Structure 1
Amino acid sequence: MKVSFIGLGVMGFPMAGHLQKSGLDVTVYNRTTEKARLWASQYGGNVGVTVAECAKGADVVISCVGNDDDVRSVITSNDGAISVMKPGAILVDHTTTSAKLANELLEACQAAGVAFMDAPVSGGQAGAENGVLTIMCGGDKALFDMLQPIFTAYGKSSVLMGEVGQGQRAKMVNQICIAGALNGLSEGLLLAEKAGLDIPTLVDCLKNGAAGSWQMENRATTMAQRSFDFGFAIDWMIKDLGFCLDEAQTQGITLPLTSKVVDQYKELSEQGLGRMDTSVIIEAVEKEAN
């Protein structure tokens, strides 16, 4: 299987590496060509200097970039991937986008005789590096089955959520749950600190009970240390939660906690913390608590 991978950020770089190590023929593209060449020097594989060069002749083209407009620039623009993809090829978008864009990509692919699946991922940089991502898919069941050799290379779990767009909606729910968990964890840690509890001991006590979560096990101790220079940047979370609020409006509901968290993150970003991990929300919660 000939695979093209577009976007070598903190997620895409190791994901494409897992594909190459699994025995697939991988060509990569990145806006910074030097990073694509660094990837090739580390994993082997091929480098496309342009998107078209990367995608031409591929059986599967995968994108993992920043936002809706980034996807459009590499996929549906005049010199984007679809312009050179062969009939019957498959486009997989791992970018977290709006559900609207997923349907836009479906229409463009159908017009070009190309199959499409939206497939946002969760698990962060560590999940990508260790090949244990969760992949939320929207599209055809036969296509989902066909893509399993791809997904198993860097995923621990891939689940078909329904038609195109449902993968992105599942990712929205994922982000809402993360935001809520971090907000509650922040308040709990503040109380624990004031009460003089030892945080590592507290985490060991709680993590296997009903309050346990990935955020508690992986972020509680660093949050207590006020260490945030890793993981998923809040500027990206603002973007993701914006999709959640837009979708909620489409569905005729409001998300009060999510709206509050977006405002907290925006304030933190304005303070110059936009590249810090999402767990930095404890700074906003602490300010409100005092």
Structure 2
Amino acid sequence: MSNASIQPRQYEQIPSKKVAFIGLGVMGLPMAGHLASAGHNVTVYNRTTTKAKAWCDEFGGASAPTPKEAAQDADIVFCCVGNDDDLRSVVLGPQGALAGMKGGAVFVDHTTASATVARELAQIAKEQGVGFIDAPVSGGQAGAVNGQLTVMCGGDAAVFEAIRPIAMHYSRAVTLVGSIGSGQLAKMVNQICIAGLVQALSEGIAFGQTAGLDMKLVLDVINKGAAQSWQMENRGDTMVDDKFDFGFAVDWMRKDLNLVMDEARKNGARVPITALVDQFYADVQKIGGGRWDTSSLIKRLR
């Protein structure tokens, strides 16, 4: 088997676990692949069954027709789906993952969702003797493929320590940042920072181009100084070239920023720049850029 969907890496040698992975999207598929490649017994569930079959053909694990059946007898159930509603649909109900999980098992949610749903599901899990960790990720599809994600976790310290070595198979850092919901809140901070950085980078590039500068040269120069950022290093040249058919989609970013706005209304935080950039992303959606990379903010300025 080629394992073409992931980049091989060195995995920490730990005892094999029986795990489930729910959701084989652009992130979940390679993450589950790293778990299988590290020697764990992996059962997957995906709403589109053909994708689950293709994953099994590549990585040699098993698939199940429902989240409940995927989760049965698993030590850890990992999940990476789209939003709060998607998450509830695969966790709750007679065919949801919690219906199949054994006492003492742990549910690890990698979905970027609300802190509210994390707390809700954690309480339900606790009532049936199941641990819960909210664990959104940063690093995009490339990070998932390369096994270099950053994972921000909320939950009980002992439960976190039990899942951390396994989550490290597709991560460069897995960190407990606080109690349940804290992982989701940390991911919101991450997205707030990215939104502001991308808008500033867009304005800088557009300004430089209007002024007649060789912007690839300028970016190479300033990326060695205080203006350096991941966005500049990885997206600067493609923004200059007007290329956006890759990466983290505008539609996904707007979903994440809506979570930020909802949480800010609840906790009273002031996020004026984030609210403005969210509307700029809405403008990009209106011109057909919903699936473009988030660096496409610069399109508004051209």
TM-score class, shorter-chain normalisation, is over 0.9
Moved over 4 A (4+): none
Report how far residue 164 of structure 1 moved: 0.4
Instruction: Tell me if the contact between 1:233 and 1:274 (Cα under 8 Å) persists in the aligned partners.
Output: yes
Letter in 1 for 2:147: G
Q: Is residue 245–residue 254 contact of structure 1 (8 Å, CA) maintained in 2? A: no
Residues 132 and 154 of structure 1 are in contact (CA less than 8 Å); yes or no, is this contact kept in structure 2?
yes
- Of 234-243 and 265-274, deviating more is 265-274
Deviations 1:20-42 (A, max 9, x none): 11111111111111111111111
Asked whether the 8 Å contact 2:216–2:240 carries over to 1, the reply is: no
* 1:135 is the counterpart of 2:151: yes
- The aligned runs of 1:86-235 (5 Å cut-off) are 86-235=102-251
SS at match of 1:146: helix
Counterpart of 2:277 (choices 240, 252, 261) is: 261
What does residue 16 of structure 1 align with? 32
Aligned to 2:68: 52
List per-residue Cα deviations over 1:85-136 (Å, max 9, x = no partner): 1111100000000100110111110122100000000000000000000000
Q: Which amino acid aligns with 2:266?
A: T
Choose which of 50, 55, 77 in structure 2 pairs with 1:61. Answer: 77
Structure 2 residue corresponding to 1:41, chosen from 57, 63, 85: 57
Counterpart code for 1:46: A
CA distance in 1: counterparts of 2:221 and 2:135, whole angstroms: 35
Which has the larger helix fraction?
1
User: Could you tell me how far 1:250 is from its partner in structure 2?
Assistant: 1.5
Q: Which residue type is aligned with residue 193 of structure 2?
A: C
State the TM-score, normalized to the length of structure 1.
0.96
Distance of 2:62 and 2:133 partners within structure 1: 24
Identity %: 54
Letter in 2 for 1:248: A
SS in 1 for 2:248: coil
Instruction: Kindly state the Cα deviation for residue 208 of structure 1 after the two structures are TM-superposed.
Output: 2.7
8 A contact 2:83–2:112 mirrored in 1: yes
Compute the TM-score of the two structures, normalised by the length of structure 2: 0.92
Q: Rate the CA distance shift 1:19–1:239 in 2: closer, same or farther, 3 A.
A: same
Q: Is the 8 A contact 1:86 1:114 kept in 2?
A: yes
Which deviations, in whole Å up to 9, do the C-alpha atoms of 1:130-150 show, x marking residues without a partner? Answer: 000000000111111111222
Give the 3-state SS of the residue equivalent to 1:156 in structure 2: strand
Matched pairs, number? 286
Distance 2:93 2:252 in 1: 23
Asked whether the 8 Å contact 1:76–1:108 carries over to 2, the reply is no
The question of whether the paired residues in 1 share the 8 Å contact of 2:66 and 2:96 is answered with: no
Distance (whole Å) between structure 2 residues aligned to residue 207 and residue 11 of structure 1: 28
Q: Which runs of 5+ in 2 are unaligned?
A: 1-16
DSSP 3-state at the match of 1:97: coil
Shift of 1:268: 1.6
Query: More deviation in 32-41 or 191-200?
Result: 191-200
Report if the CA contact (8 A) 1:131-1:156 is conserved: yes
- Greater shift, 66-75 or 207-216, is seen at 207-216
Matches of 1:173 and 1:94, distance apart in 2: 16
Mapped pair 1:244 → 2:260: yes
Aligned Cα RMSD in Å? 1.1
Q: Deviations over 1:38-61 (max 9, x none)?
A: 111111111112212211111100
- The letter of the residue matching 1:198 is D
